[in-house]
Amino acid sequence: MNTPAILSGKPVRKDFLPFARPFIGEEEKKEVLDTLNTDWLTIGPKTKRFEDLFCKYIGSKFAIATTTCTAALHCSLIVLGINDNDDVITTPLTYVSTVNVILYQNARPILVDIQKDTHNIDPVKIEEKISKDYSIDTKTNKLKNKHTGRTLKAIIPVHIAGHPCDMDEILQIAKKYNLFVIEDSAHAVGAEYKKQKIGTISDTSCFSFYPIKNMTAAQGGMLTTNDKSLEEKLRPLIVNGMSAGAWQRYSKDAKTMRWDVDEIGYNYCMTDIQASIGIPQLAKLDKFIETRELYSSIYNKEFLDCKEIIIPVKRGDIRHARHLYPIVLDIDRLKVDRNSFMDALKAENIGSGIHFRGIQYLSYYKNRLGFKPEDFPIASYISERTLSLPLYPKMVENDVYDVVSAVKKLIKYYLK
């Protein structure tokens, strides 16, 4: 039998294939250089252009560029008035910033378990949670927790791996109980739900341009909304609360040189250097997603008859953004657990990632909020078995087949 490299066999690949890599071309370099030759390095004309192009691509009324997706999520909670005595529902299977922004506002994250097929938050369980723990206070018309008296204000669905959540069901619940919906769309730029782009359907939607997301701006985020009153609150919020940012005050056609502060804000604005990377990346986004789709379909075909691997589903009338290719290992059929499998894969010179280790396993949240793995049986099940294989447009088809060979080699060797 073919010995795994971790047990001194020959690795499938000679050179290491990283789990993810950004794809930067000449256009990005040219645009950044152009910006460096102007006097506007931080928020300015390029950021404005990036926002306009993003708006046009998504089809939302407004787009506000931020330092990160985390900042965009935080700003969403602020402008929707979520704070001290509020509860916010989200998923345990997410990146920590989804939960952190709730805690920044001194609100309480309420985690609701996921669907076994999509790994997205389960609307049926949201409804169950609400009917079990909350009731409408007829005097204030607010949804109050029966035990703590806290108010449920919002739901943050996360489109895991780029597969849109069941938005019709989520929006219906939100409407019924008068809740805001803030989408964590960090994985979902370019995704569509029933022919509508993600970024057009909820109160706000937040995208990430972290280097290994579907498109990058080195770092950076974007908040989209169709609500003008939210946009008006967001503009000062990302420049420390100032009523006019530097660009509005110092440029030649500035209408005012004076400013005031009505509400406290944050320094959350994007820089023109970031926007210079984002603009050409956005132009390439659909091509990037096509390549991700092609590589996903190769994986799907190759793993179809492999009983030990559950491949990602695509269900409903959606466009999957194919940000990640997370498989679920049936570890009951194997002699190794997920972590050892990843170590063995690394020895074959193939990188991989975990999306995600559930929030219920991480010390801070576990200790401070008392989450337990048994409270979220499906998220805990997935959290212990999932691993994401390399999937990015900078890979070539041979890389994809190397990953397939390495995974199949290890499955065969470690079969019980």
Ligand X SMILES: *Cc1c(COP(=O)(O)O)cnc(C)c1O
Rule CB under 6 A: which residues touch ligand X? 68-70, 94-95, 97-98, 158, 184, 186-187, 208, 210, 221
- Distance set, CA 2 to CA 10, 16, 166, 204, 351 (Å): 8, 19, 43, 51, 20
Backbone angles phi, psi at 207, to 5 degrees: -110, 155
Q: Are residues 412 and 9 in contact, defined by beta-carbon separation less than 8 angstroms?
A: no
What's the min distance (Å) between Cβ of 9 and ligand X?
34
With respect to ligand X, which residue has the nearer C-beta, 69 or 182? Answer: 69
Secondary structure tally for the chain: helices H, strands E? 13, 15
Catalytic residues: 213
With respect to ligand X, which residue has the nearer C-beta, 97 or 388? Answer: 97
Alpha-carbon dihedral of residues 392, 393, 396, 398, nearest 10 degrees?
30
What's the min distance (Å) between Cβ of 158 and ligand X?
5
Give the residue carrying structure tokens 């499998």: 341
What's the min distance (Å) between Cβ of 74 and ligand X?
9
Residue 199: CB atoms within 10 Å: 29
With respect to ligand X, which residue has the nearer C-beta, 17 or 206? Answer: 206
Under 8 Å CB-to-CB from 195, ≥6 apart: which residues?
317
Under 8 Å CB-to-CB from 279, ≥6 apart: which residues?
31, 46, 49, 50, 53
What's the min distance (Å) between Cβ of 320 and ligand X?
15
What's the min distance (Å) between Cβ of 253 and ligand X?
32
* Cα–Cα distance, 379 to 358 (Å, whole number): 7
Give the CA angle between residues 88, 92, 96 to the nearest 5°. Answer: 85
With respect to ligand X, which residue has the nearer C-beta, 5 or 154? Answer: 154
3-state secondary structure 337-372: CHHHHHHHHHHCCECCECCCCCHHHCHHHHHHHCCC
With respect to ligand X, which residue has the nearer C-beta, 274 or 276? Answer: 274
With respect to ligand X, which residue has the nearer C-beta, 68 or 202? Answer: 68
What's the min distance (Å) between Cβ of 160 and ligand X?
7
